[in-house]
């Protein structure tokens, strides 16, 4: 009897089928790659682009990396491979605290626009692409009407074209409600655009934080306080419409010049990342010296997982992280996956609402934020 039952006390381990072993091998390789990429993404904000060629690129695809890590963690849990599952889950847990950089649950705060509230301060930042719409026509009238509808207190416009604005009756009508400060340099003027800040509040003074005009500012008198507003347009990525179309299409798989084009895009992106990082260092020092209420906004041309964002947002509150919802993008390209336009504010403000109107007037989307000036 003892010999009979001993066969059941030591059952033979079931052997995995060959297809499943191959799947596990592939999943293991993917886990290593995704894990290393996730660790690299954690380091992106803290290492200057001049010190690494690869890290700035990881910042572009961090949401996809995180999603793949979550999927692989679930796979290993289902497969009961707890060592590999645990490694993936550690990365998921660490990354969880950064999800709010690009995604916030759909918790909406109801706000009645009709109720006036002392200290409420509405800001719009918008890269208007020289007022050229997708068809190559002027969008100056549409942008002016958007401003008139939204009624922001401060409007920061990047790539502002004075020539097309002067031809727009809708823009001329804004002069009744807004003071304006225009900033430009010769290269921008040659290209036909400037930086512009419009204000419903009295502009006390204005200046340039980073020459020639990558960062400009005004001081506005708001309810007895002086609020400084920085509008920024950092170095472009140099990824043009043709590059975006190439990356978004099947040609990236079949094109015989694929490798050369990808290298070209990566090289341009990295080179400009180095320039943007230096700009961010300068702007952060300049803005950090102002101790009063301040707002830092504009087109950073970099994602929330970047050295630029880390430097620019230090000590400030990101309106999206405070009151955004869902997955927000502000650039109409690259699969609608990039949030590169920001409104940051000091602790003097409470963020009340965050909106990104879906309008086709530029390759960017406007960001509209309501802030409450504290103690008012």
The pLDDT tens digits for 171-209 are 999 999 999 999 976 566 555 578 999 999 999 999 999
Residue entry with tokens 């707002």 = 295
90 upstream amide cis, omega within 30 of 0 = no
Q: DSSP assignment, residue 158?
A: E
Confidence of residue 239 (pLDDT cuts 50, 70, 90): low
The pLDDT tens digits for 125-136 are 999 999 999 999
Residues 6+ apart with CB under 8 A from 231: 125, 156, 157, 158, 195, 197, 215, 216, 217, 297, 298
Contact 352, 332 (CB under 8 A): no
Secondary structure (3-state) at 355: strand
Task: Output the six-digit token pair for 14.
Answer: 């079931």
Please check the confidence at residue 251 and state whether its pLDDT lies above 70: no
Position 152 scores a pLDDT of 97
Please provide the distance, in angstroms rounded to a whole number, between the alpha carbons at the two ends of the chain: 88
Mean pLDDT across the chain:
87
Angle at which helix 82-96 crosses helix 62-78, to 10 degrees, equals 150
Position 310 scores a pLDDT of 97
Position 259 scores a pLDDT of 66
Position 96 scores a pLDDT of 92
Q: Residues 135, 140, 144, CA angle at the centre, nearest 5°?
A: 135
Position 107 scores a pLDDT of 56
Please check the confidence at residue 246 and state whether its pLDDT lies above 70: no
Task: Output the six-digit token pair for 10.
Answer: 């030591």
Mean pLDDT of 315-320: 98
Nearest to 192 by CA among 219, 221, 166, 228: 166
Position 118 scores a pLDDT of 65
Distance CA 359, CA 150 (A): 13
Please check the confidence at residue 334 and state whether its pLDDT lies above 90: no
Confidence of residue 247 (pLDDT cuts 50, 70, 90): low
Position 271 scores a pLDDT of 87
Please check the confidence at residue 243 and state whether its pLDDT lies above 60: no
Angle at which helix 258-288 crosses helix 241-248, to 10 degrees, equals 120
Mean pLDDT of 214-242: 88
Residues 6+ apart with CB under 8 A from 266: 57
Share of the chain above pLDDT 70, in %: 84
The pLDDT tens digits for 75-117 are 999 999 999 999 999 999 999 989 999 999 875 555 545 445 6
Please check the confidence at residue 353 and state whether its pLDDT lies above 60: yes
Q: Which uninterrupted H or E stretch holds 287?
A: helix 258-288
Confidence of residue 1 (pLDDT cuts 50, 70, 90): very low
Give whole-number Cα distances, 189 to 128, 160, 186, in Å: 15, 10, 5
Mean pLDDT of 335-352: 95
Distance CA 177, CA 195 (A): 19
Position 8 scores a pLDDT of 47
**Cβ atoms < 10 Å from Cβ of 134:** 13
Contact 123, 297 (CB under 8 A): yes
pLDDT greater at residue 72 or residue 259: 72
Residue entry with tokens 């008139």 = 148
Highest mean pLDDT out of 12-26, 62-76, 187-201, 258-272 = 62-76
Length of the chain: 376
């Amino acid at each position: 009897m003892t010999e009979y039952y001993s066969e059941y006390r030591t059952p033979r381990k079931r052997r995995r089928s060959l297809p499943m072993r191959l799947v596990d091998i592939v999943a293991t390789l993917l886990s290593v790659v995704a894990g290393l990429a996730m660790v690299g993404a954690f380091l992106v904000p803290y290492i200057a682009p001049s010190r690494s060629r690869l890290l700035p690129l990881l910042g572009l695809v961090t949401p996809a990396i995180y999603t793949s890590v979550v999927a692989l963690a679930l796979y290993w849990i289902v497969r009961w491979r707890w060592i590999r599952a645990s490694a993936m889950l550690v990365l998921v847990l660490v990354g969880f605290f950064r999800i709010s950089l690009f995604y916030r649950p759909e918790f909406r705060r109801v706000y009645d626009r009709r109720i006036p509230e002392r200290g409420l301060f509405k800001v719009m930042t918008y890269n208007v692409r020289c007022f050229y719409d997708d068809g190559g026509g002027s969008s100056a009238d549409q942008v002016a009407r958007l401003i008139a509808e939204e009624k922001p207190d401060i409007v920061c416009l990047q790539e502002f074209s004075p020539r097309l604005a002067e031809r727009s009756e809708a823009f001329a009508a804004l002069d009744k409600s807004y003071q304006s400060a225009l900033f430009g340099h010769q290269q921008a003027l040659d290209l036909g655009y400037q930086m512009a800040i419009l204000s419903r509040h009295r502009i006390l003074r204005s200046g340039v934080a980073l020459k020639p005009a990558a960062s400009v500012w005004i001081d506005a008198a708001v309810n007895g306080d002086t609020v400084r507003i920085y509008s920024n347009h950092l170095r472009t990525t140099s990824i043009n419409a043709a590059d975006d179309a190439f990356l978004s299409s099947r040609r990236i798989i079949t094109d015989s010049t694929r490798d050369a084009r990808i290298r070209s895009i990566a090289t341009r992106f990295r080179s400009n990342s180095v320039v943007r990082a230096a700009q961010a260092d300068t702007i952060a020092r300049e803005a950090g010296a102002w101790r009063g209420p301040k707002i830092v906004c504009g087109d950073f041309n970099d994602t929330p997982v970047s050295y630029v964002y880390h430097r620019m947002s230090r000590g400030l509150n990101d309106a999206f992280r405070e009151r955004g919802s869902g997955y927000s993008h502000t650039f109409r390209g690259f699969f609608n996956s990039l949030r590169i336009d920001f409104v940051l504010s000091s602790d003097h403000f409470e963020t009340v609402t965050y909106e990104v109107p879906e309008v086709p007037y530029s390759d960017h989307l406007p960001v509209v934020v309501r802030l409450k000036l504290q103690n008012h």
